[in-house]
Amino acid sequence: MTKRQLLTIDDLTAYEILTIVEVADALENQARDIGYLPPLLRGKCLGMIFDETSLRTRTAFERAMGDLGGQAIHYNGAEARVGQHAKKTEHLPDFVNVAGRFNDVLLSRIYDFDTQERICELSPVPFINGMCDKHHPTQALCDLLTVKRHFGRLEGISVVFVGDGTNIALSLAQSAAKVGMRFTCATPAEFALPVEQTARLAGFTATTDARTAMAGAHVVVADAWIPMNKAHEAEERRAVLAPYRVTPDLMALARPEAIFLHNLPAYRGDEVVPEVIDGPQSMIYPEAVARLHVARALLLSLLHPDWFGIVAAAEAGPGTLARLLSELTELPGMKVSA
């Protein structure tokens, strides 16, 4: 990677996004075909900081490190004294510098973007933003992988996000612009993405008309209407967002082959009805598991000394990748004991 961090999608070039998606897919195929992956990250450790509980992100990155021969350490917000548990600002530099010296890469999932940005700046090792209030770059990569595996391509795919213009919408819009996808964000005016963040995005359209937005959509995406810091606005938000609920009638306006994505957790009856999210067009479970595939590739891109060799092998085909992975297993310091 050009930068040893993933704070926002802007930290990745179009080529880097595409190579992470390509390698993620190739590694999953390799793991499925032979049942395991070689310990390419043996001796490496991931430190993960979670201000609140996490299902998909924690599971994906812990499993990814294990699959590649490394390990992961979990720190909750109280242990790290960050996020909602912060008492004094001086705790953050102390924690990050100590954790960064115990680990080879840090992942943080803290709601406040400013805190995430500060951790990224302080970290002496590569950093991954596992989610915050403004950005969710790893989810965007998961969605791209899900789309690529389903449709066989990214370029020219039309994505429609419906509902509240959340961190999911922004990171996916930024990703779509880099890889040649068309992205339409259908939101109420008061919940639109900030113009200063979308004005220069290629292929981006903003609208308040959800039904018109659906025309030609390959992918329909929704997110929860009530963010964790907006619970006190729940009823007001539901009233404003009701026309943006994803129903079978709304899905019918998209392409017949359209798929539905949601990062989860979902609130059936709010942003989407059960008939859609639990129906045949829903890809929410492959999308969730895609986070594991992306985590493997992302960690390799940050930690493995021959990342570009892995990329080239993945592009050359499964046979080439299998041979390279076998060779890389025998690199000095990574040799597997008999």
259 closest CA partner among 251, 248, 271: 251
What DSSP line would sit under 304-338, residue for residue? -TTHHHHHHHHHH-HHHHHHHHHHHHTSTT-PPP-
Return the closest-CA partner of residue 58 out of 48, 69, 70, 45. 48
CA dist., res. 13 & res. 2, Å (int): 8
> How are beta strands 127-131 and 105-109 bridged, if at all?
parallel
List the pLDDT tens digit at each of the 338 positions of the chain: 556 999 999 999 999 999 999 999 999 999 998 888 999 999 999 999 998 888 999 999 999 999 999 999 999 877 777 767 776 655 788 899 999 999 999 999 999 999 999 999 999 999 999 999 999 999 999 999 999 999 999 999 999 999 999 999 999 999 999 999 999 999 999 999 999 999 999 999 999 999 999 999 999 999 999 987 788 999 999 999 999 999 999 999 999 999 999 999 999 999 999 999 999 999 999 999 999 999 999 999 999 999 999 999 888 888 888 888 878 765 444 333 32
Chain centroid to CA 175: how far?
Answer: 10
Cis? peptide before 274, omega within 30° of 0: no
β-pairing verdict for 71-76 and 5-6: unpaired
Query: What is the distance between the alpha carbons of residues 75 and 267, in angstroms, rounded to a whole number?
Result: 28
Residues 6+ apart with CB under 8 A from 260: 219, 220, 221, 222, 246, 251, 272, 276, 277, 279, 281, 282, 283, 284
Question: Contact at 8 Å (CB) between 158 and 184?
Answer: yes
Instruction: Tell me how far apart the 2 most distant CA atoms of the chain are, in Å.
Output: 63
pTM above 0.75, yes or no: yes
Which domains are seen in the chain, by residue range? 5-136+291-329 (3.40.50.1370), 137-287 (3.40.50.1370)
Helices 284-303 and 307-316: crossing angle in degrees, nearest 10, is 130
- Report which of 221, 142, 149 is spatially closest to residue 182, judged by C-alpha positions: 221
